[in-house]
């Protein structure tokens, strides 16, 4: 079969820096991702897409807050599921339109994806991920008492709700995703890291948490045995000494070198760290190549002509 590429689309794919994030802007920005997918399809690849959803979930929570007197509140897990559908549609629409123009007839499908997490994950004891709008102290304390929220002071002022960010354990819809890939479909799955779920047989409530999108993407890429795991971000290459005069862009690096630089603090937790960790998680399968780049160089990076390639230690460096 043709090579399978899993592309983890960054949060800047639909909402760029400085934009308001309107629906029209997101439709326009989706064209770049659609063009990259079409180029990959033309080159004979099969494609699975994952995506972030942070701004869209924030907008849904804000709408829910403002409409609370007139409509039911949306819990976080429903917002994650809702934005999977919303973003999936935007990307599907852009790809369908571009395929029509290119004469391609390849089905594109978005799958609402649940991801199993461990109820014993330490993240549930120490929520850290800020979500939703900024509140005054008075409102934040009222919601804390009313909804049993964890509240933290926001660095930019005010207070926000924080939720756990557990590690993904398994993709619930993996077999459905595999079936679509085997049929030759372009699949959009694992949006926003997936909807977190416990296997506790309690159907009365969901899990209000946020899973790192790149970590879920790594597990999915590994379980699908993808030939390439591509992470799209806002820089064209991974760098050592980032933001310093000694900055060194990396074209290719081994997994063991990544682990060493990670331990040395070269890849901070709030920046490149999760992407490097996700790439290493994918490479645990013992095969494949991970690439990290921006959306403008995505196709060239997957073809080995741009971006940063992370390879297994036994693979010779050029």
Which residues are identified as catalytic? 11-12, 129, 213, 275
Q: Could you tell me where the beta strands, DSSP code E, fall in 76-204?
A: 108-110, 114-117, 129-135, 150-153, 159-163, 168-171, 186-188, 195-197
Q: Locate 50 and state its tokens.
A: 């994952």
Q: What is the C-alpha separation between 154 and 161, in angstroms, rounded? A: 9
The residue among 92, 43, 102, 108 whose CA lies nearest residue 299 is 43
Q: What is the C-alpha separation between 220 and 48, in angstroms, rounded? A: 9
Name the maximum alpha-carbon separation found in the chain.
62
Q: What is the C-alpha separation between 54 and 211, in angstroms, rounded? A: 11
Query: With 0-12 CB in 10 A as exposed, 13-18 as middle and 19+ as buried, what is 146?
Result: exposed
- Cα distances from 179 to residues 99, 174, 195, 256, in angstroms, run 22, 9, 20, 34
Q: Locate 200 and state its tokens.
A: 């506790």
Q: What is the C-alpha separation between 235 and 231, in angstroms, rounded? A: 11
Is the distance from CB of 41 to CB of 5 less than 8 angstroms?
no
Positive or negative, the Cα torsion across 59, 167, 155, 50? negative
Q: What is the C-alpha separation between 128 and 139, in angstroms, rounded? A: 19
């Amino acid at each position: 079969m043709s090579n399978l590429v899993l592309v983890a689309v960054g949060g800047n794919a639909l909402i760029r820096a400085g934009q308001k994030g309107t629906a029209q802007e997101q439709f326009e920005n989706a064209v770049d991702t659609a063009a990259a997918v079409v180029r990959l399809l033309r080159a004979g690849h099969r494609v699975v897409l994952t995506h972030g959803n942070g701004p869209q979930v924030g907008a849904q929570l804000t709408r829910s807050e403002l409409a609370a007197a007139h409509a039911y509140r949306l819990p976080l897990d429903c917002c994650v599921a809702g934005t999977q559908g919303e973003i999936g549609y935007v990307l599907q629409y852009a790809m369908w339109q571009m395929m029509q123009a290119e004469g391609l007839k390849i089905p594109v499908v978005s799958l609402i994806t649940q991801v199993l997490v461990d109820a014993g994950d330490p993240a549930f004891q120490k929520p850290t991920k800020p979500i939703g709008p900024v509140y005054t102290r008075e409102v934040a304390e009222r919601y804390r008492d009313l909804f049993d929220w964890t509240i933290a002071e926001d660095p930019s002022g005010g207070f926000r709700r924080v939720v756990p960010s557990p590690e993904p354990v398994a993709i619930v819809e993996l077999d459905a995703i595999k079936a679509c890939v085997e049929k030759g479909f372009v699949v959009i799955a694992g949006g926003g890291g997936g909807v977190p779920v416990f296997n506790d047989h309690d159907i009365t409530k969901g899990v209000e948490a946020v899973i790192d999108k790149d970590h879920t993407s790594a597990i999915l890429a590994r379980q699908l045995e993808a030939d390439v795991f591509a992470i799209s971000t806002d820089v064209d290459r991974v760098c050592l000494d980032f933001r310093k005069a000694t900055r060194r862009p990396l074209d290719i690096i081994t997994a063991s070198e990544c682990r060493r630089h990670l331990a040395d603090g070269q890849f901070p937790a709030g920046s490149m760290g999760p992407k490097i960790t996700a790439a290493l998680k994918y490479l645990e399968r013992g095969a494949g190549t991970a690439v990290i780049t921006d959306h403008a160089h995505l196709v060239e990076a997957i073809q080995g002509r741009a971006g940063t390639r992370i390879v297994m230690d036994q693979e010779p460096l050029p």
